Amino acid sequence: MTRHADPLIRLDHVSKSFGRRAVLEEVSFEVSAGEGFCILGKSGSGKSVTLKLMIGLLTSDRGNIVIDDEELKALDRTSLLEVRKKIGFMFQDGALFDSIPLSENLAFPLRRHTSKSEKEIRDIVCEKLSEVGLEKELNKMPADLSGGMRKRAGLARALVLDPPILLADEPGSGLDPVTASEISDLLRELKERQKTTLVVVTHDAVRVHGFADRLGVLDRGRMIACGTSEELADSRDELVRALASRGEAKNVFSKS
């Protein structure tokens, strides 16, 4: 595993089980500030669980998770909430509140975690929606948004507090190829423009190369490879090689 002098994120021999089912086993990796790190793997390999552990929605059975020099297991609830303010989480389905319009979905974390005025909140909401191309949809209810719009809205809400870290869970899943590429372009622009640290999990190996500096491959709960796409392309493992390429991954996934 590649080591970094001052990683912003570190997972050290992390394991997680649900009952008798082991989901993650001895997973270790590091992510530096401003880096794009993509976790690839088939469905059920433990990718989403890894993200939920990183934000404290789940607790590991063994091992340590350190975010910006804070070990999550050692934190009380108040301290954990402070760490979470540094992390935006883009859920697979957007995770919007269905009973309030899009503008209020974005305003909610600002009202809860800041002392900004209503005018400041409105300005930030409009700015974030504009960044994802939804400035004209602020009064729409989530049910009235297309799948691609919900993904964009989920990204906007994840970024409303300007977190230095963004975790994205399957950002292109369920979308047509054009919309999925647009979401990938937004992530790339975010990393390049704001130097946001990205950790993205996906089974879609085709679209990650634009923003991923390094790739990690999870297979049956274990991190079987970690490195640049060039380094992974030289692997002896067929799955790892396929994930490191742009065109062969779907052939491997179809075997599962």
pLDDT digits (tens, 9 = 90+) for 93-108: 778 899 999 999 999 9
Q: Cα–Cα distance between 58 and 82 in angstroms, integer?
A: 16
Does 38 have pLDDT greater than 50?
A: yes
What the block records as the tokens of 5 is: 């002098």
Judge whether residue 24 has pLDDT over 70. yes
Q: Quick check: 148 and 137 in contact, CB under 8 A?
A: no
What does the pLDDT read at residue 78? 93
Rounded to 5°, the CA angle 80-117-107 comes to 55
Percent of the chain scoring above 90 in pLDDT: 62
Say how many C-beta atoms besides its own lie within 10 A of residue 148's C-beta. 18
Q: All domains of the chain, ordered by start, with CATH?
A: 7-86+163-253 (3.40.50.300), 96-162 (no CATH)
Comparing 110-114, 177-181, 199-203, the range with the smallest average pLDDT is 177-181
Taking a C-beta distance cutoff of 8 angstroms, is the pair 70, 76 a contact? no
| Positions of E strands within the chain | 7-18, 21-32, 36-40, 62-67, 70-71, 87-90, 165-169, 197-202, 214-219, 222-227
pLDDT value for 246 = 52
Structure tokens at 46: 């433990």
> At residue 74, does pLDDT exceed 50?
yes
Return the structure tokens found at 36: 């794009």
For the four alpha carbons of 36, 42, 48 and 53, in that order, the dihedral sign comes to negative
Which run of H or E residues covers position 47? helix 47-54
- Region of residue 63 (phi > 0: left; psi between -120 and 50: alpha; otherwise: beta): left
Give the pLDDT of residue 67: 96
Q: What's the mean per-residue pLDDT of the chain?
A: 88
**pLDDT value for 235:** 86
| 93-132 CB burial, b ≥16 within 10 A, e <16 | ebbbeeeebbbbbbbbbbeeeeeeeeeebbebbeebbebb
Instruction: Lowest mean pLDDT of 1-10, 17-26, 157-166, name the range.
Output: 1-10
Question: What pLDDT score does 156 carry?
Answer: 92
Say yes or no to pLDDT of 247 above 50: no
Neighbours of 39 (CB within 10 A): 26
> How many other CB atoms are found less than 10 A from the CB of residue 219?
17
Give residue-wise pLDDT tens across range 46-67.
999 999 999 999 999 999 999 9
pLDDT band at 5 (very low <50, low <70, confident <90, very high): low
Report the alpha-carbon distance of residue 180 to residue 233 in Å, rounded.
24
- pLDDT at 205 > cutoff 80: no
Q: What count of other Cβ atoms lies within 10 Å of the Cβ of residue 74?
A: 10
Smallest CA-to-CA distance from 10 within 22, 25, 27 is with 27
Place of tokens 């994205």: 168
Nearest by Cα to 94 from 170, 1, 186: 170
pLDDT band at 80 (very low <50, low <70, confident <90, very high): very high
Q: What is the average pLDDT across 78-95?
A: 90
DSSP 8-state secondary structure symbol assigned to residue 142: G
